[in-house]
Amino acid sequence: AQTVTQSQPEMSVQEAETVTLSCTYDTSESDYYLFWYKQPPSRQMILVIRQEAYKQQNATENRFSVNFQKAAKSFSLKISDSQLGDAAMYFCAYRSVNTGTASKLTFGTGTRLQVTL
């Protein structure tokens, strides 16, 4: 079974600075998808960014980018020019392409990001 580990329960960043959230995962599969979701206090789960394992190029979405290291099974999220609205829980998630597990998402335990002035 796949597992996702987020070793940083809480992080803090100053507005306009850059922060990196860590995520590692364990799998024996060669192809899969990785996601970062954001959960603000409203508790809505919002997709931030996605990465397919067979693509070497790191995904980027505006101020959000990932550092995907397949051999190390690492998938970190970098937030540049942090804004107050970035304050939230961030969840890393793994999605298998194995039809036997039928595309469920496995989540990490989350990192709470605080953004300070």
Partner 1 sequence: DARVTQTPRHKVTEMGQEVTMRCQPILGHNTVFWYRQTMMQGLELLAYFRNRAPLDDSGMPKDRFSAEMPDATLATLKIQPSEPRDSAVYFCASGLQNYNSPLHFGNGTRLTVT
Stretch of residues binding partner 1 (CB under 8 A), selected from 7-15, 16-24, 42-50, 65-73: 42-50
Q: What angle do CA 31, 35, 41 make, to 5 degrees?
A: 160
Torsion of CA 36, 12, 63, 77, to 10 degrees: -30
Give the separation between CA 24 and CA 3, rounded to whole angstroms: 9
Which run of H or of E encompasses 113?
strand 111-116
Residue 27 binding partner 1, by CB under 8 A: no
The CB-of-114 to partner 1 minimum distance in angstroms stands at 18
42: tokens are 């409203």
From candidates 12, 62, 69, 109, binder to partner 1 by CB under 8 A? 109
In the bound state with partner 1, the residue whose beta carbon lies nearer, of 16 and 45, is 45
Q: Is the distance from CB of 85 to CB of 15 less than 8 angstroms?
A: no
Residue 58 binding partner 1, by CB under 8 A: no
Instruction: Determine the distance from the C-alpha atom of residue 104 to the mean position of all C-alpha atoms in its chain, rounded to a whole number.
Output: 16
From candidates 21, 23, 35, 94, binder to partner 1 by CB under 8 A? 35
The CB-of-51 to partner 1 minimum distance in angstroms stands at 10
From candidates 27, 105, 112, 114, binder to partner 1 by CB under 8 A? 105
List residues binding partner 1 (CB under 8 A): 32-33, 35, 37, 42-45, 47, 50, 52, 91, 95-97, 102-110
